[in-house]
Chains A and B, each alone.
Chain A
């Protein structure tokens, strides 16, 4: 007599996780991001110096045991500023991407599920938002309200929700025709219930991909705006304004410790986020990856 094992339902997350872990670049990106995240979280412990402590006696010192990455034109420790700046950059990137994705997902699901005028209003609003260059909007708002980290997060979120919204709308249009969704509707489930119970869990993997790539985009945008003086304000460090401080011929030619660390931090972090995003995309949509 042969024993029959009961069938164990397999979660789609497990093969996706396996596919993600098989992707070497995604793995490397995730490890790098984990390191950056840990450094940022532990910044006060690992920095060794106050990132804003001015010490003219240590004016533009090259890297040494006392100052691992040297000091800047105000005698501030570059390593301390770099790790504290990482907090700002990651915070702005993550928070604004999270807010943008949350808003976009909600609106996209509503538009897809309700259709008709709701769909039209949401999608036209998305078109309008996409037609505004976010850089110009930030410049205007920075002039009106003054540049700040909170302003960056709000503007980034307000300007980037349409990406997630469009993806989620498309998926919802498809999902709502599925039999299990129609069955739920036939049993009396309202549209909000269907969105909460069936649509959101189903779109989550795709939304995660959108969100991850958005993080990279927004970290870069924050760096650009801070570089232009419209983002994080001194003395608070961000990778962008550290580059601004180093934008000088003497510093570029003779003091690479002032511009190389923030430049590499931006480049490598954005690269890592992109690798993770691509890995996630390939993991949740293997057909798309193969094609």
Chain B
């Protein structure tokens, strides 16, 4: 019988901790000092602007693709492929930068933009933006001009295009692919042609995504190689301390420790989105708004912010984030377990009814939030089972409506409230739009539609406030909190200006440099 040494368990645990802190074998060319290492908070799947938004995919696409415009760290519009634009009531005209080339050297022009927007607007392509762009008309009158005519006047339309999405695709690579076949095209697993500052090199599943500087980018790119590595936030934070990571999104509770790392800088910005739980409203058990209100009352969201976020966040009570679109007062759904139980009883909820809470694990704040929510809802009379899933499984459950509760976060709703309308609309059910809860209130839709047709800001704000009150009363999502996004950068990384939107934090990657 083999003898097992006394220290075996301890050694095993230490080896596991070490293994978990560095599971990614970076190839030899990654080891030179001039390779940058970025933490991806989840595993990327593939890199298609047609796919429903997924944070890690968007982070990678921001580096290898480019779009007409985006938002910076203050949520102001920033020109990208378009150097300027004009917004009129019925159209937006983009003037593209002249003389641009794709990463393979092919000239870029408005034809590529036209090709991409037609794909994005066509439901047959599987585009998740088809709902946003439905009915819009596109024109490319010359090689550097692109025009969009929305289906109806919408002054907030520009905000729907500015962010880590609507990336332009190469017509010379994909132009001949039939539209109904394009969603599954191999290009999106290895998109080696793009307009971004970096070129896709390889994706080692569960290990890293490797990118190289784009030689045809519109200006010189200083960092020759980037590795994006999907590891847990705890391991990534530890690697920041050992110099193995250059850019990490950290948990607020780790801030005191991270601030002691030599040379590491931390920047914090309020998120333009929020952490929430989608409730499958196509499931009759959740159809009664009192059930959703009860769930909000059951969860101590103030304590989540105070403890889990170390005060670096705000309790959210609306699907709308843009300050001017919010009324002065909203129902706050204060923590009140007795009220939660009473509401559930009124709604006829059967005590002990099983409910599943799904989420993608790996981020300490969210992992703990899932546990806290499970405890709170269970105490209120719901038998909540936690279910850790991978991104693909979660997205599939949205589409098939097989989830009960899904914990997730993100979104960019700070620039204009029309972005929030996209997660509430009756015609925006996932995957056509971002309405994951399958919520539908035609009167709320009417308000947002009327608001978007107006150019009078005050009147528009008034209508959106009314929509926000309806949203607040019906609780289409269990809004949890609007966190500050904390970026920690190594001493050698310069020029990073990450915003509160963690999916859009790489918007100025072409300005990054590595010291030393």
Contact = CB atoms under 8 A, between A and B. Distances in A.
The finding on whether chains A and B are genuine partners in a shared complex, rather than unrelated, reads yes
Interface in B373-397: 374-376, 378-379, 386, 388
| Chain A facing B: main interface SS | helix
Interface string B285-322: 00000000000000010011011100000000000000
A274 B364 CA distance: 35
Interface of A: 52-54, 56-57, 59-60, 73-75, 209-210, 213, 216-217, 220, 223-224, 227-229, 233-235, 243, 247-250, 253-254, 263, 266-267, 270-271, 274, 277-278, 281
12 contacts: A54-B379, A56-B306, A57-B303, A74-B371, A209-B1, A228-B16, A247-B234, A248-B254, A250-B253, A254-B257, A263-B13, A274-B6
Given A220-B9, A235-B371, A249 B237 contact: yes
A269 to B, nearest CB: 8
B4 A216 contact: yes
A148 to B, nearest CB: 11
A267 B14 CA distance: 12
Contacts of A73: 253, 308, 364, 368, 371
B371 A54 contact: yes
A55 B13 CA distance: 28
A73 B300 CA distance: 15
A216, A250, A267 — most chain B CB neighbours (10 Å) = A250
B12 interface: yes
Contact of A56 (B7, B235, B304, B364): B304
Contacts of A216: 4
B9 A229 contact: no
B256 interface: yes
B13 A227 contact: yes
Contact of B372 (A74, A209, A267): A74
Interface string B350-379: 000000000001001000100110111011
Contacts of B238: 249
B257 A253 contact: yes
Nearest to B239: A249
A234 B361 CA distance: 12
Contacts of A59: 303, 307-308
Contact of A213 (B4, B16, B234, B378): B4
Given A75-B307, A267-B9, 13 more contacts: A59-B307, A209-B1, A213-B4, A227-B16, A233-B386, A234-B386, A235-B386, A247-B20, A247-B232, A250-B256, A263-B10, A266-B9, A271-B9
B1 A281 contact: yes
A57 B368 CA distance: 14
B364 A270 contact: no
B375 A235 contact: yes
A210 B2 CA distance: 10
Given A243-B13, A266-B9, A274-B4, A74 B368 contact: yes
Nearest to B233: A248
Nearest to A143: B390
B17 interface: yes
A55 to B, nearest CB: 8
B241 interface: yes
A74 B376 CA distance: 11
A253 B12 CA distance: 20
Contacts of B76: none
Contacts of A274: 3-4, 6
Contact of A250 (B6, B254, B308): B254
A271 B4 CA distance: 8
A52 B383 CA distance: 13
Contacts of A263: 9-10, 13
Given A229-B388, A234-B386, A247-B17, A220 B8 contact: yes
A249 B9 contact: no
Contacts of B16: 224, 227-228
A223 B9 contact: yes
A138 B70 CA distance: 45
Contacts of B251: 248
Contact of B307 (A56, A224, A235): A56
A53 B306 CA distance: 19
B9, B13, B374, B378 — most chain A CB neighbours (10 Å) = B9
Contacts of B379: 54
A56 B371 contact: no
A86 to B, nearest CB: 14
B29 to A, nearest CB: 29
B334 to A, nearest CB: 14
A163 B224 CA distance: 54
B206 to A, nearest CB: 13
Contacts of B237: 248-249
B1 A54 contact: no
Nearest to A209: B1
B102 to A, nearest CB: 39
Given A250-B253, A274-B4, A229 B234 contact: no
Given A229-B361, A248-B364, A53 B375 contact: yes
Given A73-B368, A274-B6, A52 B375 contact: yes
A233 B372 CA distance: 15
Nearest to A240: B13
A217 B17 CA distance: 19
Interface string B212-240: 00000000000000000000101101100
Contacts of B7: 267
A53 B7 CA distance: 33
A26 to B, nearest CB: 14
A243 B238 CA distance: 16
A254 to B, nearest CB: 7
Contact of B254 (A56, A223, A227, A249): A249
Contact of B8 (A74, A250, A270): A270
A271 B12 CA distance: 13
Interface string B235-261: 101100100000000010110110000
B376 A267 contact: no
A266 B10 CA distance: 8
Contacts of A278: 3
A250 B257 contact: yes
Contacts of B257: 249-250, 253-254
Contacts of A57: 303
A267 B7 CA distance: 7
Nearest to A266: B9
Contacts of B12: 220, 224
A108 to B, nearest CB: 15
A59 B232 CA distance: 22
A67 B465 CA distance: 47
Contacts of A53: 375
Contacts of A228: 16
Contact of B10 (A56, A233, A267): A267
Contacts of B13: 223, 227, 243, 263, 266
Nearest to A234: B386
Nearest to B234: A248
Contacts of B9: 220, 223, 263, 266-267, 270-271
B375 A54 contact: yes
Interface in B1-46: 1, 3-4, 6-10, 12-13, 16-17, 20
Contact of B4 (A54, A209, A217): A217
